[in-house]
Structure 1
Amino acid sequence: MRILQVSAELFPLLKTGGLADVTGALPTALQAAGHDVRALLPGFPAIVAGVRDSAPQAEFDTPWGERVRLQRGRIPGSAPGVPDLPTYWIDAPRLYDRPGNPYEDEHRQPYGDNHLRFALLGWAAARLAHGMDAKWQPQVVHAHDWHAALAPTYLACVPQPAGLPRAATVYTVHNLAYQGLFAPWHLQELGLPPAAFHMNGLEYHGQISFMKGGLCFADRITTVSPTYAREIQTPEQGFGLDGVLRSRAHVLSGILNGVDDRVWNPATDTLLGARFDRKKMPGKARCKAALQAELGLTEQADAPLFILVSRLTEQKGLPLVLEGLDAIVGQGGQLALLGSGDGWLEAAFRERAAASPAQVSVTLGYSEALAHRLFGGGDVTLVPSLFEPCGLTQMYGLKYGSLPLVHRVGGLADTVVDSSLENIADGTATGFVFDRFDGEAFARAVRRAIALFRRPTDWRAVRAAAMNRPADWGLAANQYVSVYEQALAA
């Protein structure tokens, strides 16, 4: 099957969150299953720098009359034996050649021309499906998140050349909260017919919603966990799109993300000071001691080390962590945080670290290497999100024996089994789960985590079960192939 993956990010070239991890791992898993996969990406500087052997593929006009170029190259395989990923990238420096965050300016404001920048991503995908590369036409166009959501919209609304088979479309929602909303007067600029702007199309409370276009026009819709697929059909978590999703429930699937074992594996991770696996754990103790020393925390093996690797937003449950931080420290625990986001949360965590530097470490920004060291040295991974489509953080925690402490929503509910007495007894417990999203429920989960940490035999058993949990991308890839086949049949 010929599959075109369309996204704004792809690890290891460009990553602002979990989207890049998924779009970096899924193509390789599909290649391993024997499929012909290519990626389409915007020409952001980091992407241009990472694609090898780039050469012009075609020139084409945007709907608003700008002439741009499509380049083709390859992304090298991430390990010996892993094939390169053939890649198209859009050569449009006026739109993409900007420093820093690919979506926001230096004041953290969305770029005023984002509607053009990401409409072009969908437009280029449609042009490829319509034969822009005479030697390769995708059978399936798989668009990821709002940035690529106009790909199925263009393919549904713009006539294709005669004689070409129609490409099937699949649209994956990674986070329904970010929808790509723009003013309605941009419709003509985007080259879409007026008929596309209606309640069963792009129109959303008088605005253009890229996300809604993907939901309405794709042949099949997926999201990144089974529980989230059910949650987004409710008013509580549907962000105003629950009615659309209920109307298309017959084409909606939840496919749980996997973990890329080539990148996230404590037995082979070169970013760790010592390697380990569930049968040989001394290396984890060395990772913890090294991490405590690196961050200026008291080097104390029997202090439970809570880690937090996250965007600093209220959605991620960070106010609960602030509220419960005194209790963590008061019970002998430590916290190491890596992330950035809302200014007031950054300031609040900085203040707490300044007040208790031997127990609390805060690193603002993002470092892939430090993230690996945090999972390698941590005992408990905090993911107390208000909502969470899938979450990869808790999966990395499971893989590295840093037991996740999570709110029972979305993919967190699908991946973490609470350490209740009965679950410990039957060997299924892998972490700590709380149901009510409030400070009291979070605090009880923290107390249970620390209590289990003080019982080394039970702690080791739960940690071994967590590290043994399957998280293979091969299984997810097979489920995506099934969805592609359904889309082609439709």
Structure 2
Amino acid sequence: MHVLMVAAENDALPNAKVGGVADVVRDAPKALAAQGVNVDVIIPDYGFEHLQRDYIGDVTVIFRAQPQVLSLFKLCDDNTHINQFVISHPLFSQSGSVYCNDEPGRPFATDATKYALFNAAVCEALLQGLIKQPNALHLHDWHSACVAVLLKFDKRYRDLANVHIAYTVHNLALQGIRPFKHDESSLEAWFPSLGYNGQHLCDPRYPHCFNPMRSTINLADKVHLVSPTYSKEVLKPSDYQQGFFGGEGLELDLQNCEKQGKLLGILNGCEYPEEPSHSASLPQLYQQIESTLFTWMAKKPQLESGYYIAHQRLQQFMASPVKGPLVTSVGRLTEQKVLLLCQSFESSLAIDKVCQIVDEFNGRIIILGSGEEALEEVFTKAMARNSNLLFLKGYGQGVGDLMYQLGDLFLMPSSFEPCGISQMLAMRAGQPCLVHSVGGLKDTVKHNENGFSFNAGMLSKQADSLLKCLHETLTLHKEQPKQWQKIKANAKGARFSWTQVATDYISYLYQ
């Protein structure tokens, strides 16, 4: 079997990771290759000129009514079952990062144009035989959606129209919606001669807009959600007042997929490398944090208040040993991840209440992550108010790895979570997690068995339930050490193997 994966991210390549999709595109091919599948992976070239690679050839596509020449490269890889490809064009590398932030009112505009061009080049490379035609074409998230649109509607690619398309939805909240026309970043601006069925491609809430994610859900042969529970949640409409995040407007399309038998819920996997021979220590973590903070500080001529407060707090932590539990959290600062922590309680926020509860047990909290500017500011101010909170605005692999190893309790109160990787990494290191029982978190964390979970109705009740669960969990940590060690061992022993994922892909997703 031969599979071609098309995605925006791939952590097998440097600086091509933003979220969990990069981990999947890095790890799934290895598991498939171990079962004899030949896998090609292709992403845009974000600036990989320094890597050892072979020039395969050029493709010319008509894009925005102009010919555009793009170059295909294959990166040298010792694994004969996996080929890593990148497609080069100035549009892909000009921003210096994977994704761009557009001005308000034009969401996804820059990225949608970039990925539409990339998708067109993938189709052309397949047509010209620069990339071997696969048995299954595996598209990831909205960034690869135009591949399906072009293969199904552009007469130029009629010979490829029957290739089996598997589509993985990593996060239904991000759909890449753009206008059909009257905008330089629109479907008809990119492909002015394309004939298409607007009923298949339009957004159900904004019929004048092209919805890449909905398009591929309708056009694909199989649609894959990244956990069994999430695949059920998305069949129901979202109800933000009640704190429920479901189908995000695409629930009817997904219900139709289920009726057709083409909707799958397969949990992502996690790799389990050999454990390091030496155990980490808190002084190591503090040293790593300080080194990382200095690196962040040096990037700008003026010192940001958040980094100054963080360094002062770190000095306080280093001066006095921690007496109680260390609570950790690692992840992007988005509403999805931290909405519950931002809920108001009279004169304070839920994050302040969390700090107060942890302080009752003489504990500390370290949060590592960056994201939306407004949320970064919320957590910086919360750090200033709470002497047991250290907020590190950014991401450092070394810091994150040590936090997984050294934390006593990992906090992940996501409002929704298609799969989640952070809880798997914490559990792998033997750190029990406290999670909101939704999506992949519900499928991986079992209350009072290998971790702790909460659930409730509307947002305010969810926040109350989080605080209650946290207090009960830390009480158990203090008063029932044998039970805690059993839960810790169960967390460490849990396995979510890529081997099983690859088997399910082969049996269900690619057939």
TM-score class, shorter: 0.7 to 0.9
What is the SS of the residue equivalent to 1:39?
strand
Query: Residues 157-209 of structure 1: CA distance to partner in whole angstroms, max 9, x if unpaired?
Result: 12356767832111100000000011120222332766534232344412111
Report what 1:479 is aligned to. Answer: 504
Report the Cα offset of residue 117 of structure 1.
0.6
Distance 1:450 1:40 in 2: 46
**Structure 1 484/128 Cα, relative in aligned 2: closer, same or farther at 3 Å?**
farther
1:290 and 2:284 matched: yes
1:321 and 2:333 matched: no
- Kept in 2, the 8 Å contact 1:139–1:166? The answer is no
1:458 and 2:483 matched: yes
Distance 1:163 1:371 in 2: 47
Aligned residues: 452
Distance 1:177 1:20 in 2: 17
Q: Which stretch shifts more, 246-255 or 435-444?
A: 435-444
Report the Cα offset of residue 107 of structure 1.
9.9
Report what 1:403 is aligned to. Answer: 432
- Kept in 1, the 8 Å contact 2:72–2:85? The answer is yes
Please tell me the residue identity of whatever aligns with 1:261.
Answer: Y
Distance 2:141 2:161 in 1: 25
Report what 2:330 is aligned to. Answer: 309
1:447 and 2:471 matched: yes
What is the SS of the residue equivalent to 1:189?
helix
What is the SS of the residue equivalent to 1:335?
strand
Distance 1:124 1:401 in 2: 44
Please tell me the residue identity of whatever aligns with 1:67.
Answer: Q
Structure 2 length as normaliser, TM-score? Answer: 0.82
Q: Which runs of no fewer than 5 residues in structure 2 stay unpaired?
A: 239-245, 290-313, 343-349
Report what 2:268 is aligned to. Answer: 257
1:123 pairs with one of 114, 120, 123: 120
Please tell me the residue identity of whatever aligns with 2:453.
Answer: V
Matches within 5 A, 1:414-425: 414-419=443-448
Query: Residues 28-57 of structure 1: CA distance to partner in whole angstroms, max 9, x if unpaired?
Result: 111111111111111112x454x4223142
Distance 1:137 1:403 in 2: 44
- Kept in 2, the 8 Å contact 1:339–1:363? The answer is yes
1:340 pairs with one of 349, 365, 370: 370
1:184 and 2:180 matched: yes
**Structure 1 373/108 Cα, relative in aligned 2: closer, same or farther at 3 Å?**
farther
Q: Which runs of no fewer than 5 residues in structure 1 stay unpaired?
A: 269-273, 276-282, 420-428
Distance 1:256 1:406 in 2: 17
Report the Cα offset of residue 111 of structure 1.
6.3
Please tell me the residue identity of whatever aligns with 2:285.
Answer: L
What is the SS of the residue equivalent to 1:200?
helix
Structure 1 length as normaliser, TM-score? Answer: 0.85
**Structure 1 440/128 Cα, relative in aligned 2: closer, same or farther at 3 Å?**
same
**Structure 1 376/306 Cα, relative in aligned 2: closer, same or farther at 3 Å?**
same
Report what 1:279 is aligned to. Answer: none
Report what 1:103 is aligned to. Answer: 100
1:70 and 2:54 matched: no
Distance 1:7 1:161 in 2: 20
- Kept in 1, the 8 Å contact 2:170–2:226? The answer is yes
Distance 1:165 1:355 in 2: 59
- Kept in 1, the 8 Å contact 2:40–2:84? The answer is yes
- Kept in 2, the 8 Å contact 1:7–1:144? The answer is yes
- Kept in 2, the 8 Å contact 1:308–1:336? The answer is yes
Distance 1:6 1:366 in 2: 26
Query: Residues 199-239 of structure 1: CA distance to partner in whole angstroms, max 9, x if unpaired?
Result: 32344412111111111111111010000011111002111
2:21 pairs with one of 19, 22, 27: 19
Report what 1:113 is aligned to. Answer: 110
Query: Residues 292-331 of structure 1: CA distance to partner in whole angstroms, max 9, x if unpaired?
Result: 5654425546421111111112221332434422222233
Report the Cα offset of residue 439 of structure 1.
2.0
Report the Cα offset of residue 400 of structure 1.
0.8
Report what 1:241 is aligned to. Answer: 250
Matches within 5 A, 1:189-228: 189-191=189-191, 196-204=196-204, 205=206, 206-228=208-230
- Kept in 2, the 8 Å contact 1:418–1:430? The answer is yes
Please tell me the residue identity of whatever aligns with 1:340.
Answer: S
Report the Cα offset of residue 356 of structure 1.
3.9
**Structure 1 245/162 Cα, relative in aligned 2: closer, same or farther at 3 Å?**
closer
- Kept in 2, the 8 Å contact 1:224–1:256? The answer is yes
1:433 pairs with one of 445, 453, 456: 453
Query: Residues 95-135 of structure 1: CA distance to partner in whole angstroms, max 9, x if unpaired?
Result: 4332245232699985643222111232233234434317x
Report the Cα offset of residue 84 of structure 1.
7.6
- Kept in 1, the 8 Å contact 2:56–2:130? The answer is no
**Structure 1 111/414 Cα, relative in aligned 2: closer, same or farther at 3 Å?**
closer
- Kept in 1, the 8 Å contact 2:151–2:157? The answer is no
Report what 1:422 is aligned to. Answer: none
What is the SS of the residue equivalent to 2:5?
strand
Report the Cα offset of residue 412 of structure 1.
0.3
Distance 1:234 1:458 in 2: 37
Please report the RMSD computed on the Cα atoms of aligned residues, expressed in angstroms. 2.5
Report the Cα offset of residue 252 of structure 1.
0.7
Report what 1:86 is aligned to. Answer: 83
- Kept in 1, the 8 Å contact 2:137–2:164? The answer is yes
Report what 1:271 is aligned to. Answer: none
* % identity of equivalent residues: 28
Q: Which stretch shifts more, 64-73 or 108-117?
A: 108-117
What is the SS of the residue equivalent to 1:316?
helix
Please tell me the residue identity of whatever aligns with 1:171.
Answer: Y
- Kept in 2, the 8 Å contact 1:289–1:377? The answer is no
Report the Cα offset of residue 337 of structure 1.
0.8
Distance 1:193 1:171 in 2: 25
Report the Cα offset of residue 151 of structure 1.
1.6
